[in-house]
Structure formats: C-alpha cells, structure tokens
Structure 1
Amino acid sequence: MDTSVSFLDSLQCTSDEEAWGRLVGMYSPLIRGWLKRHGAMVEDLDDVTQEVLAVVFRRFPDFRREPRAGAFRAWLRTITANCLRDHWRKKNRQPTGVGGSDFGAVIAELEDPNSGLSAQWNRDHDRHVIQYLLDEVRPAFTDKTWQAFQRFALDGLTADDVSQELGISVNAVFVAKSRVLSRLRQRGLGLIE
C-alpha cells in the first residue's frame, strides 16, 4: 500500500486486501477487548467481532468522514452496538452486563454519543489506534530517530536533555519528532480527530 495514502482512503478500494487486513488487525483486538470488558459473554466475542468487521466491510463505501471529527470512531461504535443487539436477538437471549446490569442498557448507553460509556469508547479507541500506529511506523525509522522521538514527544524530556542523552543536536531532536509525527498523521488520517 502506498504510504502517502491515508488508511481510510485505502479502504475505499475494496480490492485492497492489505488495507482490509490492516483494518482487521487493528480493530479486532480493540472490539474484542472492549466487548469482554463490558460484559459480553466469552463465547460471543469472536462472533460479534466478525459481525462488526463484516458490516464495516459491506457498508464502508457509504461511510463519510466529513465534516465531523471522530466520524469513523463514532460509526464503528454505532455498528458495534447494532451488531451486539442483533446478535442477542438472533440467540433470543438477554445477557447480563458487568455488575449484573442488563446488557441492553449497556448497548443503549453505547449508542448515546453523550454518555460516559461512549466517551470511554472514544478514549479506548484513540489509545488503541495510537499504539497500533506507533508500532506500525516504528520500523520506518532508525533507532536514533525513534529514540529521539520517544524521549522528546512521548516521555516529555526537553530537546536539550534528549540531545545530550543521545549525542545529537537539538535540531536533530526536533527533526526526529517532526518526521515521526508526520508519518503518524499520514497513516492515521481520519482515525483520530
């Protein structure tokens, strides 16, 4: 896949198997983990995750990320809630949610974009995607560039401290941060807003 094309743009071409494989690799652990933490039954985790990703695949041509920020994240959250509801309707049962609550209430809260659970979904999504993207772009950089980026941008050291620690110029620290952030923005365009 051309690295100049954003992830969401690459999914517009349904024949791009690499992009769709990347979507499955990125989102399966997030969806599965989220379902498990919020009370889905273990035997349903894989089925619901597959249902969510199948709907994303079928409906992606209709997805529009403009003009609102977080459109894909919200769209994925809605699909997840709908797939959960459909899954339990098909099985003709109402599972118990975390703490003994009705899982239907969990689904309703997930659908409400202003709920605490939706805010948690957004945080979990962004944290997961950022880590996925960091892991994905890491091999494109030398160890020194990555260390400069990590120590400065992620660990919060000053450019002077990183410069001294790594034996590079302060300018090289800023360049490393700029190069990695540019690649992250490019790869994650539309995923985190």
Structure 2
Amino acid sequence: MSPQTRDEPSTHRSLLDRARDGNDEGWRMLVQVYGPIVYRWIRRCGVQSADAADVMQETFLSASKSLARFDMERTGATFRGWLWTIAKHKLRDRQRAEAREPAQGNQSIEEIATEQLHFNDADPPSEIAEDIQSVRIRMLEVLRTSIQPRTWQMFWRTAIDGCDPGDVADEMNVSRWTVYKARARVLQRLREEMRGFE
C-alpha cells in the first residue's frame, strides 16, 4: 500500500466496523481508546483499582461477544451508552458475587450487605463531553501511528498548535494547499473513527 493510499479517508473503515468484523487490530484499538474511559467509570462507582481492571476486562469480553448486535442506527443509540450498559451489568454481577462470599477479616455480614456501588442506571458516571474529549485524544494517539509523519506534522501544527498554514508550508517546503489537504485528511479520519461513538 502506498503512503498516499494509507492516508486516504475513502479507503479507511471505521474502528467500530473493523472491531465488529472481528479485525484483531481494530478490536485492540477500540480497547485502547475506550478502556481507560470504562475503567474511570467503574472507579467512579466506588470499585477498587484491581477490581475495576477486572470489571473492565469482563466488560470488553462481553462487548466482544455482542458487538455484532449493537445497532448504532437505532434512535438514541450510542456506543458510549451501550458500553455503559454492559459495564453496569458487570458491576451488578460483581456486587452479587461479593454479597455471596463470606465475610473476611474484620468485616461483618452487615457491613458487606450495606456496601453499595454508586452509579446511576441511566448514564455513565462522567460527563459526555469529558468522555468524547478523552476518546478524541486517544483516537488521535492511535491515528498517529497510521499516518505519515509529515502529514501528521502538518495537521498537528495547524489544527492543534494553531499555526498559520502558510507558515507551516514555508517551514516544511510544501505548498499551502498541501498543508490544508494534510489537515483535512487527518480530520476526516478522526471523524470517521468517531462515527458511532458520540
């Protein structure tokens, strides 16, 4: 595959579609992007760090088995909401399992029975804007590995650093049009990858 083709939005399938089709790299990237968010949700529900990592793994294991049934075309459906529903069920499963275990150490049965996870049934325990920003940042990190370094540099200098495209063109000894095109390609890739997440 030529470097030019690798950057072309028309040849790129969304991350969610690749993961759904069983593409290992797509799935790995999906977990890399969304794993920290799911972990943060679980921790905000009052789960200890090691247990939160286990619940996160259980969440993604369940998601991998049911991703084909996720319908992002359904009104109001978002990947974030769907993933939160799975995480919520895994949290409840964990809570039920812990309630069946005998008291350990100095903990009484009454203390175990009164321990509750703190979460709202409807929404993840974080703001949607916070989660979307987190996904965008991680997605940019993932995309960077698949984009030519010069293309990435032109995008970063103009879209993130806020440099004038003409100045970047002069610095990199390319036309202004090349800088605009590089920025547009990366932004298009980001939009494609984000489709269905928000």
Instruction: Give the TM-score normalised by the residue count of structure 2.
Output: 0.73
The residue number in structure 2 matching 1:160 is 166
Aligned match of 1:99: none
CA displacement at 1:41 relative to structure 2: 1.2
1:25 aligns with 2:32: yes
* Aligned match of 1:73: 80
1:54 is matched with 61
Residue 8 (structure 1) aligns with: 16
Select between 130-139 and 32-41 the one with higher mean Cα deviation: 32-41
1:183 to 189, 192, 196: 189
Checking the alignment, whether the CA contact within 8 Å between 1:35 and 1:45 is kept in structure 2 is yes
Q: Can you list the C-alpha shifts for 1:105-163, whole angstroms capped at 9, x where unaligned? A: x312xx334x8x45x1x234322321222122213333332222112112223323433
Alignment partner of 1:45 is 2:52: yes
Identity %: 32
How has the CA–CA distance of structure 1 residues 94 and 160 changed in structure 2, closer, same or farther, with 3 Å as cutoff? farther
Paired position in structure 1 for 2:98? 91
Question: Quick check: which has more Rg, 1 or 2?
Answer: 2
Structure 2 unmatched ranges of 5 or more = 1-5, 100-111
Per-residue CA distance 1:46-85 (angstroms, 9 max, x = gap): 2211121122122222210014466111111222222212
Distance 2:31 2:113 in 1: 28
Could you say which residue in structure 1 is the equivalent of 2:108? none
RMSD: 2.8
Aligned to 1:145: 151
Indicate the SS of the match to 2:145: helix
Task: Confirm or deny: 8 A CA contact 2:72 2:78 kept in the other structure.
Answer: yes
Equivalent-residue separation in structure 2 for 1:128 and 1:86 (angstroms): 27
CA contact (8 A) 1:10 1:19 kept: yes
Query: Is 1:112 the equivalent of 2:119?
Result: no
Query: Closer, same or farther in 2 for the Cα pair 1:158/1:135, shift >3 Å?
Result: same
Aligned residues of 1:85 and 1:107 also touching (Cα < 8 A)? no
**Alignment partners' CA distance in 1, 2:149 and 2:20:** 34
How many residue pairs match? The answer is: 177
In structure 2, do the counterparts of structure 1 residues 156 and 10 end up closer, same or farther at CA, with 3 Å as the change threshold?
Answer: same
User: Tell me, which stretches of 5 or more residues in structure 1 are unaligned?
Assistant: 97-101
Tell me how far 1:167 sits from its aligned partner: 4.1
